[in-house]
Amino acid sequence: MAGKAKREAAGESRSGPVLRYRPINLGRWTVWGVAALLFVFMPLIFQSGYARSLLSQMGILIIFALSYNMLLGQSGMLSFGHAVYSGLGAYFAIHAMNRVGDGSLIWPITVLPLIGGLAGALFGIVLGYVTTKKAGTPFAMITLGLGELVFSCSLMFPAFFGGEGGISGNRTVGRPVLGIAGWTLGPQVQVYYLIVIWCFVCMAAMYAYTHTPLGRIANAVRDNPERAEFIGYNTQRVRWFVLILSAFFAGIAGGLSAINFEIVTAENVSAIRSGGVLLATFIGGVAFFFGPILGAVVFTMFAVALSEFTKAWQLYLGVFFVLLVMFTPGGLSSLILMNLRVLKFQKFKRLRDPYFGVILSALALAFGCVMLIEMTYHRTLDYSLGPQIQLFGFPFYTDHAESWVFAVSVLVGGALAFRYAWRRFKAVWGEIQVEIEDWIRDNPEAE
């Protein structure tokens, strides 16, 4: 499935144990190069302050989601309290920022996320020692409890957590970056580039981690903890060490968010945040390294961009999540890779028409749903502003029965069409997958 990794592995096997010639992996360099270019040029394409703030939040969530997937996807540890580490990292970072401000600490603001990371790792050592005693469901439950514990602490110790209002800071207090006048992290675009640098370094580090003994043994522990014990590994240790590393990166994400927003509140350590990163990671898919990156981008679009357009964004996010889990449990990354595989085997032509039907009917279905939801929201929340709403550029009157009849008929028509189209699609899709898997089984050395 992971074409890149497989090609590389196949190249290794051909070269044998003695001859170790391995060509430079062009695919990997291309992917990382394109990612770097995207990071650099994004704010030049999207120049509004709003877009740049959106991009900054994406960068932060990418680090956070990748760190979360070190637990969930790579080690099989489902945590409901990962925001504890990013949130505490953020608190330590903002306190450090304020101490830089009053002169009691000399530390460049650009390296502030490192303080967040170290704080995260420190709490990973202490709290993680407790949570990683158990695996599976007990682990999940303990993290949930610990998350609540830390959140309730935030109200008990207002001096550190800032109570209801949180702790605010000022990111421009430090010396200019590299001594260049004007590089004070004042403008959003400077913060964006700071986040980009951190994001890129963290991505590379977390990717490199997947190719280390600990990273691979974590996969083994995920697959079969008992057997891992019988090849010499203390699985409890493995989980603990992985959690500490993961908490370190989560803390860096927290430190960056402290710089980005210049405020840290109890919400940063809350279950809402922990749930958010779980959602983002799952949307992107846990089985592949780049899954959480995709998930972070999509999740930020929902949480930041869509919330500008509609009050119902959480409803849409929820529906999207449910549909995704139902139809492609592997998330967006596996959806993409499965389709790429079909493309590679030159069988995509057969899917073109079924895809067309599925997408068209799904759009109709979605349109009907959105209309109903928006009209309902309008009637219950904003009716005082008048009966008319704008949807996709068209005016609709929520007090006319025709609008409702129209919406319901589009919805029902779309649903019926989708049912038919989906069945057809699934049949063709299944056929193609069986063909591909048979081919792979017959040609174990190819690819």
CB 210 within 8 A of CB 289: yes
230 binds other proteins (CB under 8 A): yes
For residue 171, state whether it binds other proteins (rule: CB under 8 A): no
Pick the stretch among 61-69, 98-106, 367-375, 438-446 that binds other proteins (CB under 8 A): 438-446
Closest C-alpha among 307, 282, 302 to residue 292: 282
* Helix (H), strand (E) at residue 206: helix 188-209
Nearer to other proteins, 243 or 389 (CB): 243
CB of 216 to other proteins, least distance (A): 6
Beta carbon of residue 307, minimum distance to other proteins (angstroms, whole number): 37
Taking every pair of Cα atoms in the chain, the longest distance, rounded to a whole number of angstroms, is 78
Least distance in angstroms from the C-beta of 212 to other proteins: 5
Q: How far is the CB of 349 from other proteins (least distance, A)?
A: 28
**Residue from 175, 227, 344, 419 that binds other proteins (CB under 8 A)?**
227
Binding residue for other proteins, selected from 219, 310, 328, 376, defined by CB under 8 A: 219
Q: Which of residues 10-49 bind other proteins (CB under 8 A)?
A: 10, 12-13, 16-17, 20
Closest CA to 89 of 115, 65, 63: 115
Q: Shortest Cβ distance from residue 437 to other proteins (Å)?
A: 9
Amino acid identity, position 37:
L
- What are the residue ranges of helices labelled H in 303-385? 307-309, 313-327, 331-344, 349-381
Q: Which stretch binds other proteins (CB under 8 A): 51-59, 99-107, 237-245, 353-361?
A: 237-245
Which residue of 36, 189, 197, 220 would you call a contact of other proteins, by CB under 8 A?
Answer: 220
Residue 132 CB, nearest approach to other proteins (Å) = 13
**Considering CB under 8 A, how many residues would be counted as binding other proteins?**
40
- What is the CA angle 240-241-247, rounded to 5? 85
| 54, amino acid identity | L
Residue 136 burial by Cβ neighbours in a 10 Å radius (0-12, 13-18, 19+): exposed
Can you tell me which of 214, 338, 417, 428 binds other proteins, judged by CB under 8 A? 214
Element (H, E) at 6: helix 3-15
Among 37-45, 102-110, 209-217, 376-384, the segment contacting other proteins (CB under 8 A): 209-217
Confirm if 246 and 77 have CB atoms less than 8 A apart. no
Q: How far apart are CA 388 and CA 375, in angstroms?
A: 9
Nearer to other proteins, 232 or 395 (CB): 232
Closest residue by Cα to residue 262 from 194, 201, 185, 197: 185
230 vs 394, beta carbon nearer other proteins: 230
Based on CB atoms, which residue is closest to other proteins, 173 or 440?
440
Q: Give the C-alpha separation, 143 to 419, whole Å.
A: 40
- Cα–Cα distance for residue pair 420/34, rounded to 1 Å: 39
As a whole number of angstroms, the distance between CA 110 and CA 92 comes to 15
**Min CB(226)–other proteins separation in Å:** 7
Say whether residue 133 binds other proteins (CB under 8 A): no
How far apart are CB 73 and other proteins at their closest, in Å?
A: 11
Q: Which range of residues in 213-221, 339-347, 362-370, 376-384 is near other proteins by CB under 8 A?
A: 213-221
Helix (H) or strand (E) holding 10: helix 3-15
Write out the H or E segment, with its range, that includes residue 225. Answer: helix 225-229
Residues that bind other proteins (CB under 8 A): 6, 9-10, 12-13, 16-17, 20, 208-209, 211-217, 219-220, 222-224, 226-235, 237-238, 241, 245, 441, 444-445, 447
